[in-house]
Amino acid sequence: MGDEEEYELQLSINSYEKSDVIISVILGFIDIVFIIVFSIYLKSQNKKVNHLKQKLLKVFLIDFITRLLYTKKYNSWTIYKELFFSFMNCIQFYLIISFLSYALVKSKRFSQMQIFLLSIIFFFITFSYERFSFSVSNTFSQMLYNKIILILQSTCVLYCIYKTYGEFKKYIYEIANSIKCSDKELSKVYLFILGSPQSCLILFTIYYVLKIFFTFIKNPVYIIYSKILLNILKEAVKYFAFCVCQGIIYQYYAYKLEEDEIKEIKAHPEETEKLTINKY
């Protein structure tokens, strides 16, 4: 590789690191805005609504802390930092699965052991093994090892996604149908929740198929660009999952309000009738 090519590669690496940090800062700011707004919004006396809200707030808080520390990642990368980031992602996964489980009817929820085992599996199939430096004979062998690991890992994740998709879709449908409101304005939120399993499947598939495809790129500069694209796509998938959780909370909040209004009408039918007469 000539001096000009090395210079171009170094510029691309610097651009990648800067863009990665900028994206983390922007998304960290979004996390903070959400935490502040969501903390003072959707106040409810319902225990389930508040519990779901607290779980999602924890997810965003962990996301913010991770992003804050991620901006320092490039100063001195160590395997301990990578373990920490993987562990934090695992906690987020645990909270999201717990969130979905708690949103289900009580008799159909996951046990804590099931959620814990799913989180352990998530940790081991998503950990960045390619970042470990093993004693290999040359750089080519190291690159080949990294590519094999990425392909095997991405294939394994895709298999797990398609293996669990049917169950995941069933649970999302059960959650959506259990909190369906009669208000037509909320039908868009309901349809968004119903369509989320297919959307998640498509987004995850695109991400991991591209990840496999990009392992065959040899040009170092194109590799940097592919990483930028994958990072953007990964964040899009992540925030889409967050939006689904927000939609569930909002729908559940509206459903409980509607349910309380119906109970109030049944408890005081005379007052409701008088209000209707006076209205006309």
Domain definitions of the chain by residue range: 3-259
**Local structure of residue 131 (DSSP, 8 states):** G
Q: Could you tell me the two tokens for 125?
A: 């199939």
CB atoms within 10 A of CB 58: 16
| pLDDT average, residue stretch 250-258 | 81
Whole-number Å distance between alpha carbons of 97 and 236 = 19
Question: 82-131, pLDDT tens digit by residue?
Answer: 788 889 999 999 999 999 999 887 767 888 898 999 999 999 998 887 76
Q: Write down the mean pLDDT value for the chain.
A: 81
The burial class, CB within 10 Å (0-12 / 13-18 / 19+), for 8 is middle
Question: 168-217, pLDDT tens digit by residue?
Answer: 999 999 998 888 877 666 788 889 999 999 999 999 999 999 999 999 88
pLDDT interval class at 276 (50, 70, 90): very low
pTM, two decimal places: 0.83
Q: Are 231 and 21 in contact (CB under 8 A)?
A: no
